[in-house]
Structure 1
Amino acid sequence: MTQASADLSYQSGFGNEYATEAVPGALPQGRNSPQRAPFDLYPELISGTAFTAPRHENRRTWMYRRQPSVVSGRYKPYAQAQWTTGANREIALPPEPLRWAPIPLDKADVDFIDGVHTLAANGDAEAQTGIAAHVYLASRSMERRAVVNADGEMLFVPQQGRLVITTEMGVLEVKPGEIALVPRGVVFKVALPDGLSRGYLCENYGAQFRLPELGPIGSNGLANARDFQAPVAAFEDASVGYELVKKSGGRFWSAPTRQSPFNVVAWHGNLSPVKYDTAHFMTIGSISFDHPDPSIFTVLTSPSDTPGTANCDFVIFPPRWLVMEDTFRPPWYHRNLMSEFMGLVYGEYDAKPGGFKPGGASLHNCMVPHGPDEEAFEKASHSDLKPQKLDNTLAFMFESRYRFIPTEFAMQSPALDQDYADCWAGLKDQYKP
């Protein structure tokens, strides 16, 4: 890549109006689409929202590229049977908790595109509602292959191995503990500098992720906009051919190109890939008693048409202090309207110390009871409540108003824990009148 991608320079902020050029003078001044752009580049607009979206929500970026993206071969169907879109309503799913052990990587002789496996999904990409929860299992970098998702934006949560995500706007390097967000319609490829890699993906068909409102928290707290990092402009030799895989309407297509899709010399706008280090999350919790709702751990939210009821919330449980008095400190037993897909990046989750492993996942749908296992309940009920630091841990949730339906791959996987419900079997009637 040409320009500052070599030293992985970034611009700070979330939803900012960025301006960056790989070659000085490549950005037009005073107009977006001059009769002739500098260096005879092609202006191209990508709109992430409708033209008439409110100004504070409108997302678009102008790119100035060596060849426009209309230059490509004809598309042919591409086979990727494990990456599915939307919910399969024919799967009869009992209203029970589900859990998966980490899916092994030893058979993953594929790159990112072919290594995506859908575990559960809801909603409808055509109706622009809902999400899909995937895992990726890959061992090879994408070399002369690129992918573009017209169905939704992609939230990356690496669990093992770094990712180098090359996009039309520049390059992001993302390690476990960090996340990356690639907007709908932006072309990207994934390199694996550490080889075998595993992680989680949220494919968001609905409203774009944004920072949540803080309400009574005030002006500071949770994720700060300035801690998100966008790439600077970088481009490849335009004469290098690629295979471009496109996801559209839940189907995959492939077309040859005679040029690199990563040929953007300059760009400006507020639609951009970004990355975020979860270590910068300002965790808020109780300093008196009781266990607060997990909504205080929301990093990003995709709102729905019902205020306060998200299409998807991305929630993390990072290292934090527990200081509550006379309180059962782990999450209580609960049934929620919102459905929860959960993963563990590293460390131990305090509500399931033995059964939930990094790289694994759990699913608790709407009104499915869940909570601490027997071991966690006994420990938390009788421990001496001194200040306690939960350290070296990072769990997360994709939380949605829509019920998740697992895929056949997920339900038939050897990683599915057939005995998950047994973790509560020892909770006896302790009533002592």
Structure 2
Amino acid sequence: MASISPGIPHPRPELADELEYQHGFGNECESEALPGALPVGLRSPQRPAYGLYAEQLSGTAFTAPRASNRRNWLYRIRPSVKHGKFETAPDGLLRTGPIRDAHTPAAQLRWNPFPIPAKPTDWVDGLVTLGANGDAQMQLGVGIHLYLANESMTDRFFFNADGELLIVPQQGRLRLHTECGVLQAAPGEIAVVPRGMVFRIVLLDGPSRGYVCENYGQAFTLPERGLVGSDGFANERDFMTPVAAFEDREGDLELMTKYCGRLFACRIDHSPLDVVAWWGNNVPYKYDLARFAVINTVSVDHPDPSIFTVLSSCSHTPGVANADFVIFPPRWQVATDTFRPPPYHRNIMSEFMGLIHGAYESRPEGFLPGGATLHNCMLPHGPAAEVHEKASRARLEPTYLDNTLAFMFESRYVIQPTKHALQAPELQADYADCWAPLPKHFMGRPKRGPR
């Protein structure tokens, strides 16, 4: 089993943890927590070692092309079918696309950070949906949530049948115990859990907050580089997958699932994280966003934000994503004779933004870490008035944007806000006022002609 080489320092020592990982994106990996637990040369032996059960977890149809096929073989103490009867559970503030409890306004939206509850709240109970699009049962679109938690999941486990989960911590480190092993994600890192995989989350720093993109569509993959060539953007080697680690414990435990937009719960008398060995490519993984190799202009003009795409969920239309995960990290700005912040624009894609730390260059006031903005299809947006004025007069010398890490969940479908999101006190009623002071600079005159 592969692990981090001890002689290679972590690029950000504060994010280093004691866990072992395998490296690479989309790799066919294998791992065993006990020697000989992993069968060799076959998938389903008549009697697996240690009295284990063989079980497959498929992330795609059996007949999906080899390049996109995702599946795991798990060798576990008990098969996953062994649990109690699922009963409906309270959905809380968790919602699923299509959203039907509110109309989508023709307005730019921005929220202040939502507070972490004072009462005991674990990661599942702390999910709050801000918006969604598409249809989970049709396997297209996304759900966009916050998690607001102050309690670890100790005797509670969860799997999401509606989509894979891209988790973006903003406050507090998370330790994810999954069927494939244990991984850790801190603010500035992301973690992805495949559709249907069981996990529980431990909070390492107390009260925690972050963002979740629930991807109903095709699993996230790395975007093509095109003319950039063989390197740059997110490199495969920087993605990290856990090694096998199992829980062999019994008790009065709870297993929850999100299924067709509803939460269900059942009793289970053992930990479902009892996988002793596994092999395949349908795996959870983590990624340090600081390892993203930014590609930027070295001549003129502000490039499209697509150059900051880390992960992409494809749709049936080439080049038009079901969902993109885009980041705006520290970077050099050197373009000449150029308005350097993002220009004013209207876009057929819909954009949800979050802020992990620092300030966002286009709107440094009012967009706070833990907050969010939503600019839906064809709604104009861009720099606040004072940012435009400053950038229009700035001396154009090489500038390093530091102390910033924003991100965007972008989708081809309109993101419908939930009723709770539209009625929340965190919604800023005066967001559009940031553009109101934009003056008229026009100095020309209309041509005279026939009337």
What is aligned with 1:179? 190
Alignment match of 1:298 (pick from 299, 306, 309):
309
State how 1:322-401 maps to structure 2 within 5 Å. Answer: 322-401=333-412
What residue in structure 2 maps to residue 210 of structure 1? 221
Q: 1:29 aligns with which of 29, 40, 59?
A: 40
Contact 2:113 2:369 survives alignment (8 Å): yes
Superposition pairs of residues 157-172 of structure 1, within 5 angstroms: 157-172=168-183
Q: How far off its partner does 1:375 sit?
A: 1.4
Q: 2:236 aligns with which of 209, 218, 225?
A: 225
Following the alignment from structure 2 to structure 1, what is the Cα–Cα distance between the partners of residues 116 and 76?
Answer: 38
Question: Counterpart in 2 of 1:313?
Answer: 324
CA contact (8 A) 2:117 2:149 kept: no
Deviation at 1:378, TM superposition (A): 1.0
Q: What's 1:121 paired with? A: 132
Q: Is the 8 A contact 2:363 2:387 kept in 1?
A: yes
CA distance in 1, matches of 2:76, 2:99: 40
Query: 2:327 is matched by which residue type in structure 1?
Result: I
Q: Secondary structure at the match of 1:81?
A: coil
Which deviations, in whole Å up to 9, do the C-alpha atoms of 1:65-88 show, x marking residues without a partner?
Answer: 000101101111111221110032
Query: Any conservation in 1 of the 2:333–2:399 contact (CA below 8 Å)?
Result: yes
Quote the Cα distance in structure 2 between the aligned partners of 1:105 and 1:169: 29
Bigger drift between 30-39 and 175-184 goes to 30-39
Structure-2 residue corresponding to 1:255:
266
Shift of 1:93: 2.4
Residue among 40, 44, 64 paired with 2:55? 44
Q: Which residue of 2 aligns with 1:79?
A: 90
Is 2:190 the partner of 1:198? Answer: no
Q: Deviations over 1:124-177 (max 9, x none)?
A: 000000001100000000010000100000000000000001101001110000
Contact 2:362/2:382, CA 8 A, preserved across alignment: yes
Q: Is the Cα–Cα contact under 8 Å of residues 241 and 260 in structure 1 kept in the other structure?
A: no
8 Å Cα contact 2:117-2:148 kept in structure 1: no
> Would you say the 8 A contact 2:142–2:213 is kept in 1?
yes
1:67-119 Cα shifts (integer Å, max 9, x gaps) = 01011011111112211100324522221100001111253530001000000
- How big is the shift at 1:428? 1.4
Kindly state the Cα deviation for residue 241 of structure 1 after the two structures are TM-superposed.
4.0
The answer on 1:266 being equivalent to 2:268 is: no
Partner SS state of residue 377, structure 1: helix
* TM-score of the aligned structures, taking structure 1 as reference length: 0.98
* Superimposed CA distance per residue, residues 158-199 of structure 1 (whole angstroms, 9 cap, x where no aligned partner): 000000011010011100000000000000111101000000
Q: Report the 3-state secondary structure (helix = DSSP H, G, I; strand = E; otherwise coil) of the residue aligned with 1:354.
A: coil
**Secondary structure of 1:410's match?**
helix
Match of 1:68 in 2: 79
Q: 2-side partners of 1:262 and 1:235: how far apart?
A: 6
- Map of 1:92 onto structure 2: 103
- CA–CA separation in structure 2 for the residues paired with 1:389 and 1:65: 50
What is the letter of the counterpart of residue 97 of structure 2? G
Residue 112 of structure 1 aligns to a residue whose secondary structure is coil
Contact 1:294/1:315 (CA < 8 Å) preserved in 2?
A: yes
Cα separation, 2, equivalents of 1:249 and 1:106:
27
How far apart in 2 are the matches of 1:107 and 1:194? 15
Query: SS of the residue aligned with 1:216?
Result: helix
Worse overlay, 91-100 or 161-170: 91-100
Mapped contact 1:108–1:138 kept (Cα < 8 A): no
Partner of 1:415: 426
Letter in 2 for 1:408: K
Q: Deviations over 1:199-244 (max 9, x none)?
A: 0000000010000011111111100011000000001124244200
SS in 2 for 1:191: strand
Distance 2:222 2:204 in 1: 30
Whether 2:99 is the aligned partner of 1:109: answer no
Report the Cα distance in structure 2 between the residues aligned to 1:240 and 1:32, rounded to whole angstroms: 30
- Secondary structure of 2:354's counterpart equals strand
Amino acid at match of 2:226: G
Report the counterpart of residue 22 of structure 2 in structure 1.
11
Aligned-residue offset at 1:35: 0.6
SS at match of 1:114: coil
Q: Match of 1:33, SS?
A: coil
Q: Are the aligned partners of 2:98 and 2:136 in contact in 1 as well (CA < 8 Å)?
A: no
Partner amino acid for 1:217?
Answer: V
Q: Secondary structure of 1:173's match?
A: strand
Partners of 1:19 and 1:206 in 2: CA distance: 26
2: CA distance, partners of 1:422 / 1:192: 38
* Partners of 2:117 and 2:150 within 8 A in 1: no
Distance 2:403 2:99 in 1: 37
SS class of match (1:25): coil
The count of corresponding residues between Structure 1 and Structure 2 is 430
Query: Residues 272-300 of structure 1: CA distance to partner in whole angstroms, max 9, x if unpaired?
Result: 00000000000011110100000000000
Q: CA RMSD in A?
A: 1.3
Matched-pair identity in %: 58
Where structure 1 has 5 or more consecutive residues not aligned to the other structure, the ranges are none
| Deviation by residue 1:309-329 (Cα, 9 ceiling, x = unmatched) | 000000000110000111000
Q: Which runs of 4+ in 1 moved over 3 A?
A: none
Contact 2:99 2:131 in 1 (8 A): no
